[in-house]
Amino acid sequence: MNIGILINEGPYTHQASDSAYLFARAAIEKGHRVSRVFFYHDGVNNSTRLTEPPQDDRHIVNRWAKLNQEHGVDLVVCVAAALRRGIKEENLASGFRISGLGQLIESGIQSDRYVTFGD
């Protein structure tokens, strides 16, 4: 099954990003394909390389980057939402890319299931 994911919440303010990451990892482990994760609204904050959590805390941005590196999950950041929050191409963590809402629509069309995390 091909799964697309939409994340609307930031990495440390709500549980949405953690839940989405754990869901994506579990789906991949069960043999499903997570083709794209689209970060929208405050979810774009999951993509910045400027994030520096304490050493004893999880590093959510690095988790997503590792999922991209190991499984080829396309990590797309909404350009309009990113620019509103001061996130530009040069601030992105490894594995993330900026694009438009067309990528969200395309993912919804191409996915067997599309799952949204956050309001």
The CATH number of the domain holding residue 112 is: 3.40.1260.10
Domain count, the chain: 1
Q: How many CB atoms lie within 10 A of CB 57?
A: 9
- pLDDT value of residue 119: 87
Q: What is the pLDDT of residues 70-115, one digit of tens each?
A: 999 999 999 999 999 999 999 999 999 999 999 999 999 999 999 9
Q: Tens of pLDDT along 58-71?
A: 999 999 999 999 99
Read off φ and ψ for residue 99, nearest 5 degrees. -155, -175
Instruction: Give catalytic residues, as residue numbers.
Output: 78
- Could you tell me the residue range of the domain that residue 27 belongs to? 2-117
